[in-house]
Amino acid sequence: MLPTFPFAGRTYSYDPAEPLDISLPLQPGKDQVNCFWAEPVQFDTIRVGSFVGSVALGGSTNYQRVHVTPHGNGTHTECYGHISPDPAVTLNQCLRRFLFVARLVSVAPALQPNGDLVVLLADVQTALMAQPDHAIPEALVLRTLPNDPAKRTRQYSGTNPTYIEPALAEWLVEHNVQHLLLDLPSVDREEDAGLLLAHHAFWQYPAQPRRESTITELIFVPSKVADGLYLLNIQITSLEIDASPSKPVLYLLNEQG
């Protein structure tokens, strides 16, 4: 018997043995996705006296230091501490649940008069209405089209990547969407004079901060994964900072008769 999960007055089953990993792994080298001019991921072998932390180099164990910038080096989840001066606002303190019902939608960004590509509220609403069940869950997973596999390794810095319009962030708040996941470097324009309008709108900061809400950026949802309703598991590290490398995982939800 498969486990079940309730949503909108209905019961859904899911298969724990069929996870859909939508994260991008962290690894050194040119194939690591990167944005906002972050230093590349680096793994360093620890050396202390005669000890070398590499079995390949004659050590007894592998023992490495990891250099990573969560906001720039791959899939990461962030809380409103990203735009707050309070160091006590950390993702580890804000994200206290890890399972959510999520809806995956695919949307093509719209070309704006200034040349920017922007995900518009109207297009997301249209994509949601195209699904059989229009109920809006706690989490929205946004896949941009075309779904180019090059997203896995793209070097975004200085390219003015696609972003979302602030009106979409406001609408998500109105519909109590707590978690937004997308395959873009940021919900905001790469260079926007520090306004971060979509970040502020989604977290309602500083007026009424949505402490439990998160944004996860630089995911990748394979094209074979259909739009629809999923159980989402957001996995993070227990770092007391505003963001963490993360591993969001989806499980297809099937309504029970």
The whole-number pLDDT of residue 39 equals 97
Mean pLDDT is lowest, of 53-57, 124-128, 131-135, 232-236, for 131-135
What are residue 228's DSSP bridge partners? 104
Stretch 22-27: mean pLDDT: 97
Stretch 131-150: mean pLDDT: 93
Residue with tokens 């998160």: 214
Residue pair 219/20 in contact (Cβ under 8 Å)? The answer is no
CA 166 to the chain's CA centroid: 17
The whole-number pLDDT of residue 34 equals 97
Using 50, 70 and 90 to split pLDDT, how confident is the model at 134? confident
The whole-number pLDDT of residue 161 equals 98
The whole-number pLDDT of residue 200 equals 98
Phi, psi of 202 (to 5 degrees): -65, -40
Using 50, 70 and 90 to split pLDDT, how confident is the model at 10? very high
Put residue 146 in one of left, alpha, beta given phi > 0 → left and psi -120 to 50 → alpha.
beta
CA angle 176, 21, 90 (to 5 degrees): 50
Is it the case that residue 117 has pLDDT exceeding 90? Answer: yes
Q: What percent of the chain has pLDDT over 70?
A: 100
pLDDT tens for 70-86 read 999 999 999 999 999 99
Domains of the chain plus CATH, in order, are: 4-31+70-255 (3.50.30.50)
Instruction: With H, G, I as helix, E, B as strand and everything else as coil, classify residue 65.
Output: strand
Instruction: State the chain's mean pLDDT as an integer.
Output: 97
Is it the case that residue 133 has pLDDT exceeding 90? Answer: no
Q: How far apart are CA 208 and CA 63, in angstroms?
A: 44
Kindly report the pTM of this predicted structure.
Answer: 0.97
pLDDT tens for 173-208 read 999 999 999 999 999 999 999 999 999 999 999 999
Residue-by-residue DSSP string for 149-206: GGGGT-B-TTS---EE-HHHHHHHHHTT--EEEESSS-SS-S-STT--HHHHHHHTTT
Other Cβ atoms less than 10 A from the Cβ of 240: the count is 13
Residue pair 183/205 in contact (Cβ under 8 Å)? The answer is no
Stretch 33-61: mean pLDDT: 98
Is it the case that residue 257 has pLDDT exceeding 80? Answer: no
Stretch 93-104: mean pLDDT: 98
